[in-house]
A and B are shown apart, each in its own frame.
Chain A
Amino acid sequence: MNGDFTLADGVFWLLSAATALGGLGAALSRNIVRAVFFLLLTFAGVAGLYGLLSADFLAAVQLMVYVGGVLVLMLFAVMLTSQIDQAHQSNPVGSRWLGIACGAAMLAVLWTTLVRAPFLEESAPAYAPTTAELGHTLTGIGFLPLLAVGLLLCAVIVGAVVVARRGPGTE
């Protein structure tokens, strides 16, 4: 930040605060359902940050995949479990000190990465459309990886169906 406080800075701090608060809430909430809903704040905040960086495609995908997919999946899993709102059942505290140690180790890794990373310096974000280029990349040089991922996902879905399926005649 060189001197002038711009509106983009304000929005950035607001979104970062929302993201961090959501993360803290998700980690510290005793009620696991509320923890999942705190994640909504985090996901939305990250999507907002992507939008602020003019990565419009990434922002939309973040919202679609994490809010529309991952979050809903978690909510399903949580809500279909019995006695989920009892904290000692759903959210037992194994060892406080172990948790703090794991958190500290994670923070150390992230911090060193953050400090060492060569950040690109750009004065103002360019609001250029990204989708066309992404599409060309995906159907050009990235086509084979895309196909491989698609095939893998297809295999995963078929595998899940096979695992979930009961034996013949039990329907």
Chain B
Amino acid sequence: MRALAEYLAASWQLSPLGRELLSAGLILLTAIVVFAVALLIAALLTWLERRVAGRVQSRVGPNRVGPLGLLQWLADGLKMILKEDVVPAAADRPLFLLAPYPVMIGVFAAFATVPFSQLLIAADLDVGVLYLIAVTSLVVVGILMAGWGSNNKWSLLGGIRSAAQIVAYEVPAALALLSVVVMAGTLSLQSIVAAQGGWPWEWYLLRTPFGFVAFFIYFTAAVAEGNRTPFDLPEAESELVAGYNTEYSGIRFGGFFLGEFANIYLMSAIASALFFGGWQIPGVTPAEQVGSVWWQALGFLVFVAKAGVGCLVVILLRWTFPRLRVDQLTALCYRYLAPGAFLCLVGNALWIVLVPAGSLFERMVGYGMTAVAAALGLWFVLRMRRHMVSTGDRLDLDLFARGHTRAAFDPAWQARAYGRFRRRRPGEAS
């Protein structure tokens, strides 16, 4: 970016002020591009969410607007823009109107440091991780602003719950990220990715046992910070209508909504970069990757795939788990996650001091951890299969199914397609 600015300034023979305006313009352009990409990701995630919800609940999900309902987000966006932006008569008008902006700034500004590939990053800040934690803290202020400005007890309760939850879970999340920062010795996200490798045993997730635990702590805390089920007490429909965004309509509601979905991608992207090796391709060093367009493209795909799996897991969590109670929520954070994250931080710090980098022991631990993780994954799959066989359920991973989910209702169709997994009715021949 800086090279481009200098090239343009030299070829147009600009004055110093002109040069500065040019580079400011380029920065603005970058910001707009980042914002647009983040918005697009958030919009597509709303489609994915409803599609997955549909599959989980044996329905199809959005399938009318565009092929497979893929353009549903456009229709929704249009609807939100066209809807009336209602401000309640009793609301604190300026606060009510301003509230969505801190939420959106907090989430979307963080996208500037997401390393989509080795070269594709808006700003590889030297204080990257710290910047992420700092800028996302604006979200809390926006939510409190909305809760207060609405002048409505549900909104206020939702806002305070949300803020309490975010402030509490910020601690374990930040500590878990710090345990990776300690390993890498840098706060810049690109350097952290570069310090890992393509193979699973070179990821910070599997390099030390503490990294493995830290990842799960981070992931849980990040889901809680995003107000997602099972931690969605701030917008618990059965208690608080819709929490802090009860009174919002039209595009202002859309702001909160998109911020929430962008946050899902953001947390998955951070997890992918810090724990899963980001854009690193197995068997290709960063130095080899930098010169080739194809390696760059593959690295981008690798990163997006890792982050995408993270998003899918977050969405599946929502449709799988019931909501926690307030006391369970706080107990989980203060009793288990925060001390656990502290232990991970201390453990990784000791690891750095005691285990020489690149030693045989470190590599053996990496291989062992990978084997353990693979075994855990296999155990999970086998266990799921057993559950499915015993309940006569079927595996349904096809997000792109077109028609009705007939199999759920039609025993004959079920027997043809999934005969082996089907539960036998009493007295039925096997």
Does residue A20 face the partner (Cβ distance < 8 Å to B)? Answer: no
Which residues of chain A are within 8 angstroms of B193 by Cβ–Cβ distance? Answer: none
Q: Are B137 and A67 in contact (CB under 8 A)?
A: yes
**C-alpha spacing A68/B21, complex, angstroms:** 32
Contact of B127 with A76 in the complex, beta carbons under 8 Å: no
**Bound form: Cα–Cα A37–B167 in Å:** 17
Q: What A residues does B170 contact at CB under 8 A? A: 68
Q: What CA separation (Å) do A33 and B133 show in the bound complex?
A: 25
| A-B pairs with beta carbons under 8 Å apart, 28 shown | A5-B17, A6-B17, A6-B20, A7-B21, A33-B95, A40-B141, A56-B127, A57-B130, A60-B130, A61-B130, A64-B130, A64-B133, A64-B134, A67-B134, A67-B138, A68-B133, A68-B134, A68-B140, A69-B137, A72-B137, A72-B141, A72-B144, A75-B144, A75-B148, A76-B160, A76-B163, A76-B164, A79-B144
- How many residues on chain B are close to A (CB under 8 Å)? 34
Q: Which one of B92, B130, B133 has the greatest number of beta carbons of chain A within 10 Å?
A: B130
Please give the distance in Å from B92's CB to the nearest CB on chain A: 8
Task: Given A5-B17, A71-B141, A72-B144, decide whether A129 and B163 contact each other with a Cβ distance below 8 A.
Answer: no
User: Nearest residue in A to B130 (C-beta to C-beta)?
Assistant: A60
For the complex, what is the distance from the CA of A60 to the CA of B257, rounded to whole Å? 26
Q: Is A63 an interface residue (CB 8 A)?
A: yes
The distance from the CB of B162 to the nearest CB of chain A, in whole angstroms, is 11
How many A-B Cβ pairs are below 8 Å?
Answer: 82
Cross-chain contact of A37 among B95, B133, B147, B159 (Cβ < 8 A): B95
Cβ < 8 Å to B, chain A residues 42-86: 56-57, 60-61, 63-64, 67-69, 71-72, 75-76, 79-80
A residues whose Cβ falls under 8 Å from a Cβ of B = 4-8, 33-34, 37, 40, 56-57, 60-61, 63-64, 67-69, 71-72, 75-76, 79-80, 129-132
How near does chain B come to A103, taking the closest CB pair, in angstroms? Answer: 26
Structural contact, A7 and B20, CB atoms closer than 8 A: yes
Task: Enumerate chain B residues within 8 angstroms of A132, measured Cβ to Cβ.
Answer: 186
Most chain B beta-carbon contacts within 10 A, residue among A4, A7, A76, A130: A7
A111 to B417, CA, bound (A): 83
B137 shortest CB reach to chain A, Å: 3
With A34-B95, A63-B135, A129-B126 as contacts: A79 and B156 at CB distance below 8 Å: yes
Question: Which chain A residues border B145 with CB–CB below 8 Å?
Answer: 37
Q: Does B131 contact A (CB under 8 A)?
A: yes
| Closest B residue to A62 using CB positions | B134
Find out whether the CB atom of B163 lies under 8 angstroms from the CB atom of A61: no
| Interface pair B148/A79, CB less than 8 Å apart | yes
Cβ of B144: which chain A residues have Cβ within 8 Å of it?
72, 75, 79
In the complex, chain B residues whose CB is within 8 Å of the CB of A40: 102, 141
Please tell me if the beta carbons of A75 and B163 are within 8 angstroms of each other in the complex: yes
Closest chain A residue, CB of each to CB of B133: A64
- Smallest CB gap from B140: residue in A: A72
In the complex, which residues of chain A have a beta carbon less than 8 angstroms from the beta carbon of B240?
A: none
Cβ of B125 and Cβ of A56 under 8 Å apart? yes
